[in-house]
């Protein structure tokens, strides 16, 4: 073959009419009309979801919903997108929890911003994978720039780095794994990746607050250290890690012949939205040569606000930080990141595969797979945050955070002033733990049953959704405010619903006693 005669001009492939018909469902240039129809159908369902929902939940029961699913047969395709999305609406959308409504204040689910939703369309359609440069050239640089921006907001220097992850649990796992391997490499000259755990690993100890995220307990087991390696440190009256108790715990473990490897501080506890004393903990980590990881999955939103940024003072001392943009930056699930103070920390988890990122790769520093442990194929979630910051800016997002924090503080005042409620503590961010416990029922040991009843009835009714938790063995209700559209008027309405269900339970209980 004479290669000089090959036509190198760029031209779109030509498809036959039959091919266009047979492959109309594949996303390619011949299916643009099909794509438009599908997107329009989906858009209609989303628009209806916004316009028709007046309460967070439909109240459907599992039995009612399962009965609808019994009719579905995957071997019989539907005939149109109209039929498809009518089915999806009936089975899913009509009963999906509406996190965007002001009466949803249960879990760490924020309303999402529209620029990020627009980005989702591009992410799904173009379908880049963020593991290597040759699969996502521009996307790689976008992610890296957002990582550097976040590191700068934390207070890290130009040597910092990081990677987007699937969520806070994965980011925490990576942070603790880096701590373990860094200690082994630096102080024991032992490569865990190649040689397995050293003999000293049975004495490794990590220190966490009693209020730390549950993922840390699972992480320590996955790391092969056993739950005994996780030392839980007591908290103060507001459920923040007590730095004095932390140092005592460190000294006790040293006395026991164990090895303090790392400490995890929480910037925004799941239950209380409170922040451990980061500055004091960071100084103790430095004093005892321990890795300092900050779980800021919830509290990272404070990076956006000038008014409350001081609450994160000390986070810049961390070796690694977890941020969940889908909790505090109004991003769709999932959007998280692990950030590290020095890029060379990530070398501890780099593995080279000849077919993917060989050591002689010409794109050194551009393959994001070098920075992650559990994801090769990975969505371009960074585009959502990119579009959000470029359209809205840090200041507008920060104003949303300010509003949320201030509404929470006002809500705490309302609850604390009402004799029918018991507020456990105020919040640094936006989570309040309390219970309905009116004077008429306090002589009876029914607080747990009463508040469990309230939570269950509120969920089934669907007008407002709150969460629940246990503190010191007792059951409490929990508000988590992440929606700047939620006002004190909404709060008063939600509290009236709490009282209505609570009063009905108390009346029934007392009537039973007197019968």
CATH of the domain at 474: 3.90.1150.10
pLDDT in tens, 159-195: 999 998 988 889 999 999 999 999 999 999 999 988 9
487 within a domain of the structure (yes/no):
yes
Residue 375's pLDDT is: 62
In contact, 315 and 267? CB cutoff 8 Å = yes
Examine residue 333 and state whether it is found in any structural domain, yes or no. yes
Q: Same structural domain for residues 91 and 134?
A: no
In a shared domain, residues 255 and 145: yes
Mean pLDDT of the 148-158 span: 97
Domain boundary among 77, 97, 117: 97
Q: Report the pLDDT value the prediction gives residue 10, as an integer from 0 to 100.
A: 60
If asked whether residues 234 and 371 sit together in one domain, one would say: yes
Pair (203, 342) in one structural domain: yes
| pLDDT over threshold 80, residue 308 | yes
Q: Which two tokens stand for residue 20?
A: 């266009």
Q: What is the DSSP letter of 166?
A: S
Number of domains comprising the chain: 3
Q: Pairing state of beta strands 320-324 and 431-436? A: unpaired
Q: How far is residue 39's CA from residue 75's CA, in Å, rounded to a whole number?
A: 24
**Mean predicted confidence (pLDDT) in 50-71:** 93
344: phi then psi, degrees, rounded to nearest 5: -70, -15
Asked whether residue 391 is assigned to any structural domain, the reply reads no
Is residue 93 within 8 A of residue 45, CB to CB? The reply is yes
Tell me whether residue 281 is in a domain.
yes
- Mean residue pLDDT across the chain: 91
Residue 28 CB neighbour total at 10 angstroms: 15
Q: What is the pLDDT of residues 113-123, one digit of tens each?
A: 999 999 999 99
Residues 453 and 504 grouped into a single domain:
yes
Written as six digits, the tokens of 267 are 């910037």
Query: What would the mean pLDDT of 154-163 be, rounded to a whole number?
Result: 95
| Residue at a domain's end among 97, 121, 151 | 97
For residues 316 and 349, the answer to whether their CB atoms sit within 8 Å is no
- Residue 507, helix vs strand vs coil: helix
* pLDDT surpassing 90 at residue 53: yes
Residue 158 lies in a domain: yes
Same structural domain, 173 and 236? yes
DSSP readout, 437-500? --GGGTTSS-HHHHHHHHHHHHHHH-S-B-EEEEETTEEEEEEE---TT--HHHHHHHHHHHHH
d(CA 436, CA 220): 37
Q: Residues of the chain with pLDDT > 70: what percent?
A: 92
Candidates 472, 229, 177; CA nearest to 346 is: 177
185 with 251, same domain?
Answer: yes
| pTM of model > 0.85 | yes
Query: Is a pLDDT exceeding 60 seen at residue 4?
Result: no
> Is residue 181 located within the same domain as residue 325?
yes
Q: pLDDT, tens digit, for every residue of 209-261?
A: 999 987 888 899 989 999 999 999 999 999 999 999 999 999 999 999 999 99
Count, residues in the chain: 515
> Are the CB atoms for 270 and 328 separated by under 8 Å?
no
CA–CA distance, 349 with 347 (Å, rounded to integer): 5
Q: Which residue from 303, 272, 273, 287 is spatially nearest to 207, judged by alpha carbons? A: 287
Whether residue 280 is contained in a domain is answered as yes
Q: 268 and 218 share a domain?
A: yes
**pLDDT tens digits, 412-434:** 999 999 999 999 999 999 999 99
Final residue of a structural domain among 97, 117, 139? 97
Provide the residue range defining the domain that includes 38: 23-97
| Res. 299: pLDDT tops 90 | yes
Is pLDDT at 3 greater than 50 in this prediction? Answer: no
Considering just the CA atoms, what is the radius of gyration of the chain in Å?
26
- Cα distances (Å, whole numbers) of residue 240 to 205, 234, 254, 353: 20, 8, 23, 43
| Edge-first strand listing for the sheet containing 467-471 | 421-423, 431-436, 474-480, 467-471
Q: Give the contacts of 157 (CB within 8 A, at least 6 positions apart).
A: 341
Q: Is 95 exposed, middle or buried (0-12, 13-18, 19+ CB in 10 A)?
A: middle
Per-residue pLDDT tens for 498-512?
999 999 999 998 888
pLDDT at 1: 38
Q: Are residues 439 and 348 in the same domain?
A: no
What CATH number does the domain containing 234 carry?
3.40.640.10
Helix 382-417 / helix 137-154 crossing angle, nearest 10 deg: 40
Residue 23 has pLDDT above 80, yes or no: yes
| Residue 312 belongs to a domain | yes
Residue 70 is assigned to a structural domain of this protein: yes
Beta bridge partners of 63: none
- In whole angstroms, give the CA distance from residue 422 to residue 416: 7
Is residue 355 located within the same domain as residue 456?
Answer: no
pLDDT digits (tens, 9 = 90+) for 357-398: 455 555 666 666 666 776 667 788 999 999 999 999 999 999
328 and 453 fall within a common domain: no
């Amino acid at each position: 073959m004479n290669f000089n005669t090959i036509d190198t001009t760029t031209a779109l492939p030509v498809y036959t009419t039959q091919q266009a018909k047979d492959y109309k469902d594949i996303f390619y240039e011949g299916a643009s009309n099909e794509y438009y129809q599908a997107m329009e159908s989906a858009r209609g369902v989303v628009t209806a979801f916004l316009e028709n929902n007046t309460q967070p939940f439909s109240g459907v029961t599992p039995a009612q919903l399962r009965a609808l699913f019994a009719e579905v047969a995957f071997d019989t395709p539907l005939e149109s997108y109209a039929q498809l999305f009518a089915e999806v609406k009936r089975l899913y959308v009509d009963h999906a929890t509406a996190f965007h409504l002001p009466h949803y204040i249960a879990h760490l689910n924020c309303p999402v911003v529209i620029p990020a939703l627009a980005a989702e369309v591009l992410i799904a359609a173009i379908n880049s994978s963020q593991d290597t440069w040759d699969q996502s050239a521009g996307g790689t640089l976008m992610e890296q720039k957002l990582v550097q921006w976040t590191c700068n907001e934390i207070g890290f220097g130009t040597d910092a780095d990081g990677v987007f992850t699937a969520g806070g649990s994965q980011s925490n796992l990576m942070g603790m794994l880096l701590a373990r391997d860094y200690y082994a490499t630096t102080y024991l000259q032992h490569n865990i990746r190649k040689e397995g755990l050293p003999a000293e690993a049975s004495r490794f100890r990590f220190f966490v607050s009693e209020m730390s995220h549950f993922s840390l307990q699972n992480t320590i087991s996955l790391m092969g250290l056993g739950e005994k390696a996780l030392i839980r440190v007591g908290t103060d009256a507001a459920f923040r890690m007590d730095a004095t108790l932390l140092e005592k715990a460190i000294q006790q473990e040293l006395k026991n012949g164990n090895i303090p490897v790392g400490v995890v501080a929480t910037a925004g506890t799941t239950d209380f939205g409170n922040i451990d004393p980061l500055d004091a903990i960071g100084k103790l980590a430095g004093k005892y040569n321990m890795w300092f990881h900050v779980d800021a999955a919830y509290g990272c939103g404070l990076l956006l606000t000038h008014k409350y940024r001081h609450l994160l003072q000390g986070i810049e001392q961390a070796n690694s930080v977890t941020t969940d943009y889908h909790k505090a930056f109004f991003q769709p699930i999932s959007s998280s990141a692990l950030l590290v103070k020095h890029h060379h920390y990530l070398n501890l988890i780099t593995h080279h595969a000849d077919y993917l990122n060989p050591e002689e790769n010409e794109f050194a520093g551009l393959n994001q797979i070098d920075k992650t442990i559990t994801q090769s194929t990975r969505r371009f979630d960074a585009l959502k945050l990119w579009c959000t910051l470029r359209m809205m800016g840090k200041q507008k997002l920060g104003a949303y955070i300010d509003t949320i924090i201030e509404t929470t503080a006002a809500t705490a005042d309302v609850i604390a002033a009402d004799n029918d409620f018991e507020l456990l503590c105020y919040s640094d961010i936006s989570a309040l733990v309390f219970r309905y416990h009116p004077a008429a029922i306090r002589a009876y040991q029914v607080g747990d049953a009463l508040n469990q009843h309230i939570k269950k009835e509120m969920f089934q009714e669907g007008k407002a959704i709150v969460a629940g938790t246990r503190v010191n063995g007792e059951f409490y209700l929990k508000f988590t405010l992440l929606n700047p559209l939620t006002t004190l008027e909404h709060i008063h309405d939600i509290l009236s619903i709490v009282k209505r269900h609570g009063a009905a339970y108390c009346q029934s209980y007392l009537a039973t006693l007197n019968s």
